[in-house]
């Protein structure tokens, strides 16, 4: 328990007085340092969490949650009607894909073509949840749906024609030549993922099979789940149903990306925590100077019967109070900055005419944030824990002061 005397003396030592001068400067810098360290940690963790969540939502939204790829024989239709599969899936779609080259006005670009039946294409999130210009149900022979970024790169609009070259060849009198066909742009989609919009295009499934010399047995089954986040357990269920096929999920195809994000987040946390550590060490300096300045006061308190443990509590509370209030202020600062970070980004971009967070690099059109209470608790616990540790030594040093030596020259 903390007595009333200990509280009053602690509060008195925390009050700013002109004669303390340099001591107050150190205390202020300790407060600012810890506050900024906590705020920066919360902002960085919020942006990293938001970036990861937004990226997962985009990837899950515009890619198949689970893909079943046949090895040789076509996928057994009876397996599709499996009761367990019906319980976990929201939609089942047959598809295929291949890599080709777009040739347009002296500009060539590699692209991934995905083939769907017209009815299945209208069910995709890129149509239902994305922004699509043109006719979604017109994915017929020689019609193509391209991404917004790709339309900018190639200067294409709806109704324009583009030439696409397939790696599969056709026999001619002069030898084997790659297939090349003209497609008409029937729609332009915007998924929100710049990389997706610039490298993916959709065509009719039958046309794709013919264009790449695929067989119907080669078609993949795309499974769209009711709960795509529970991907590990779902994959096990799907693998049991399709035990003769190769099964992979959105998590498998993006494993390296999310592993890199996790490592980066942990490294950033460790590096930025050093800000708090450096600021907290200023508390040792300020408390040591405070003990030196209050030598007479400590001697008087001891001479009137104040116990050593009370002296320890007083100086310990001074350090912890500075650290705790700085942490609380830092949390407030970090949360507020995280909430309005996109507005701040837009203001800085406009004010200084620079591109902050370019979407062609970060895949997203705006800076995402996700304030995670658990992350805030971890940051707060680390900050307060550090200030508790650094406050112990000066407090113990104050309690060991000899009152006779303290009053000797008074």
pTM as predicted: 0.66
313, β-bridge pairs = none
Let me know whether 372 and 320 are in one domain.
yes
Cα–Cα distance measured from residue 234 to residue 244, given in angstroms and rounded to the nearest whole number? 17
Q: Coil, helix or strand for 230?
A: coil
Let me know whether 83 and 202 are in one domain.
yes
Q: What is the pLDDT of residue 328?
A: 92
Is 242 part of a structural domain of the chain? no
Burial class (CB in 10 A: 0-12, 13-18, 19+), 139: buried
Q: CA nearest 38: which of 378, 265, 343, 284? A: 378
Q: What is the pLDDT of residue 309?
A: 81
Cα–Cα distance measured from residue 97 to residue 179, given in angstroms and rounded to the nearest whole number? 16
Would you give the end-to-end CA distance of the chain in angstroms? 33
Give me the half-sphere count of Cα atoms (radius 13 Å) on the Cβ side of residue 390: 27
16 is written with which tokens? 């700013």
Q: What is the pLDDT of residue 332?
A: 93
Let me know whether 20 and 71 are in one domain.
no
Q: CA nearest 90: which of 210, 203, 224, 213? A: 224
Let me know whether 21 and 97 are in one domain.
no
185 is written with which tokens? 């742009």
Q: Each residue of 82-98: pLDDT tens digit?
A: 888 888 888 888 899 99
Q: What is the pLDDT of residue 174?
A: 61
Is 234 part of a structural domain of the chain? no
Let me know whether 71 and 190 are in one domain.
yes
Is 13 part of a structural domain of the chain? yes
Let me know whether 76 and 210 are in one domain.
yes
Cα Dmax for the chain = 113
> pLDDT of the chain along its 410 residues, tens only?
677 766 777 777 666 555 555 556 767 777 888 888 888 888 888 888 887 777 777 777 777 888 888 887 778 777 888 888 888 888 888 899 999 988 876 778 888 999 998 888 888 877 877 678 888 778 888 899 998 888 888 888 888 888 988 887 666 666 567 788 899 999 998 877 777 888 889 999 999 988 888 888 888 998 888 887 778 888 888 888 888 888 888 888 777 777 777 787 788 778 777 777 777 777 777 777 777 766 777 777 777 777 778 878 887 888 888 888 888 999 999 999 988 888 887 787 778 777 666 665 555 667 778 888 888 888 888 888 888 888 887 788 777 777 666 565 55
Task: Point out the domain boundary residue: 227, 245, 280.
Answer: 227
Scanning the structure block, which residue is given the tokens 């310990």?
316
Helix (H) or strand (E) holding 168: strand 161-172
DSSP percent split of the chain into helix, strand, coil, nearest 5: 60, 20, 20
Is 243 part of a structural domain of the chain? no
Cα–Cα distance measured from residue 341 to residue 220, given in angstroms and rounded to the nearest whole number? 42
Q: Would you say 87 and 237 are in contact if contact means Cβ atoms under 8 Å apart?
A: no
Is 250 part of a structural domain of the chain? no
Count of domains forming the chain:
2
- φ/ψ of residue 147, rounded to 5: -80, 160
Is 61 part of a structural domain of the chain? no
Q: For residue 213, what are the domain limits?
A: 66-227
Let me know whether 23 and 98 are in one domain.
no
Let me know whether 263 and 186 are in one domain.
no
> Beta strand pairing status for 246-249 and 89-104?
unpaired
Let me know whether 183 and 306 are in one domain.
no
Is 241 part of a structural domain of the chain? no
């Amino acid at each position: 328990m903390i007595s009333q005397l200990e509280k009053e003396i602690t509060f008195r030592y925390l009050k700013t007085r002109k004669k303390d001068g340099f001591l107050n400067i150190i205390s202020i810098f300790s407060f600012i340092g810890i506050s900024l360290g906590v705020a920066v940690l919360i902002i960085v963790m919020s942006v990293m969490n938001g970036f990861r969540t937004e990226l997962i939502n985009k990837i899950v939204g515009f890619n198949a949650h689970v893909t079943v790829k046949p090895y040789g024989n076509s996928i057994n239709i009876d397996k599709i009607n499996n009761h367990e599969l019906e319980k976990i899936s929201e939609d089942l779609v047959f598809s295929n894909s291949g890599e080709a080259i777009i040739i347009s006005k002296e500009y060539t670009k590699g692209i991934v073509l995905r083939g769907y039946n017209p009815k299945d294409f209208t069910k995709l999130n890129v149509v239902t949840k994305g922004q699509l210009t043109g006719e979604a149900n017109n994915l017929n022979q020689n019609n193509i749906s391209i991404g917004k970024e790709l339309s900018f790169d190639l200067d294409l609009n709806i109704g324009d024609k583009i030439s696409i070259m397939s790696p599969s060849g056709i026999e001619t009198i002069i030898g084997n030549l790659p297939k090349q066909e003209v497609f008409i742009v029937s729609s332009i989609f915007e998924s929100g993922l710049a990389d997706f919009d610039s490298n993916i295009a959709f065509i009719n499934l039958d046309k794709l099979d013919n264009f790449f010399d695929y067989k119907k047995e080669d078609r993949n089954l795309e499974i769209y789940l009711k709960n795509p986040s529970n991907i590990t357990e779902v994959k096990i269920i799907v693998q049991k149903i399709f035990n003769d096929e190769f099964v992979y999920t959105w998590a498998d195809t993006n494993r390296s990306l999310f592993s890199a994000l996790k490592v980066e987040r942990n490294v950033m946390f460790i590096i930025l925590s050093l800000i708090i550590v450096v600021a907290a060490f200023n508390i040792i300096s300020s408390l040591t100077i405070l003990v030196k300045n209050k030598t007479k006061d400590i001697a008087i308190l001891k001479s009137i019967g104040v116990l050593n443990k009370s002296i320890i509590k007083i100086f310990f509370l001074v350090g912890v109070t500075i650290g705790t209030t700085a942490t609380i202020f830092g949390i407030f600062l970090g949360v507020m900055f995280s909430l309005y970070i996109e507005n701040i980004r837009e203001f800085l971009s406009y004010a200084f005419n620079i591109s902050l967070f370019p979407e062609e690099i970060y895949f997203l059109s705006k800076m995402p944030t996700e304030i995670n209470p658990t992350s805030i608790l971890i940051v707060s616990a680390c900050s307060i824990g550090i200030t508790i540790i650094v406050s112990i030594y000066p407090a113990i040093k104050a309690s060991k002061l000899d009152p006779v030596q303290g009053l000797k020259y008074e």
